[in-house]
Structure 1
């Protein structure tokens, strides 16, 4: 157990996700490797995309960053991407530098309006808080499909003026990809406002786990692996523990993947991502075998690690993955 000498007492780590999170016995939390935050920007000099921060819920207090690409006309309608950031449910932000750059690139290249949801983080807010927040963000966006019914919500002119609600997408990376799965499952059984439907969902390197290792996941010490350990900290009361369907969609008794509430999916993996690659491929195969009526595609980049494109979006491999995403959003 690590400790830090304080002026009056010894400060000790009582919970830890290595390289991600330290929780101390005085209740304080240290998020390791958190990326700096970037401010929103009108007319980003690299992409021309404008961004702004908004509050979409007062209780609980929830916010998002919106991205609007250059318009050809004042009344131009654009597909909408509701985006969920990664960070193992406990760190990073919709306002982090790398997520901000990524959303600028995607908004520009796919010509989409993005709602990047800022969800509450564990351990101050254990799961399922992040799931509820991201569902709330999607619902809030969908309410704008009928502008005459917006008197009871915090309305947003960019969505009213430029959102095409026949083309709603959800997308996310790592834990955000896990959120995409769970939001899509919920959308399959619970209607969104104004009859809005999710046309497509993409998940890059999604965070899935389970009680038994699969593929190249380590057999020795598997219960101490980062995905396994992190789940117990971010959702300590999860029914079924690490085999809760929210993190193990293929667990016995999990809801059928045939109920996914979208028409098409794009899933990506990195070849050297030992923690998530093989389990995500199994998920892809399970979706195909489930009887789900949509179309799903899988892309793999060999020789790369988890979310490589997020930190190196301008490399050839980073550009290739982002092009797959933007092509999917253009379909």
Structure 2
């Protein structure tokens, strides 16, 4: 039996297998009373598969063939403008879900102090995810960033920032750093700029500056969840710790960071995986660990115990990634385990 105190909070990364925002808000609020400080809308429907719904934002002539695109030499040579990039729709989705969130809060289903969480991809994730040509990426990335920040501004005008949490999802940033380290040779993850780490931090700074001071802001350091597999199996938390430290150092002067989240593979119940956490410099930022795996309460407890043997200041737990690709029948197990290992 663990002698360490239980973490007190649960972070829901973003997506879910449920049919509607109302169902997700209600299900999670009832299953996890007093454990949630923010709740996403479940990213239901087309949004359940992260950025897949964003490819219509771009001209089909620059979208990768894997997404049904038709890139050509002519499209690579073209000069693109903002008119070539469609609206992202993130603001429309958030504003509609907030209306449901507000009604459920008024009825008492959602606790009064819980924030409405909006999980957003970075432009790097979306542009690198859909556009193969590096030169085209360099052109359209600032344009997509402008569209995304337009959406962020509008949703912050419609959702009171004092009730809002903005979470930045960083799979492409993590993957680009792993590519630079030689841990993957999949060019899909290669950054189109250099130096990679400095370029990442510069881009994150611009995003952070656009978040209202009254809104909370957090980061999901993602290793991917396609077919429940990581794009790179992390050998330990070293890269996550290095990235978290750099984000905290560089973003905190721009906007306070409420939390960072790190994944934990199911088979890593050993202290060696968590050893780099000794070097984590959180300041006022909370740490959430993705130790929760469905139908594995014993393993979840072992992962948490191994982490706490190295680093005690763990605010809460989460799944490794969003639950949009999780079978609906596993959601109950996940929520039960979350409740069991926190208190």
Q: TM-score range, shorter-chain basis? A: 0.3 to 0.5
When normalised by structure 1's length, the TM-score is 0.39
When normalised by structure 2's length, the TM-score is 0.37
Structure having the higher strand fraction is 1
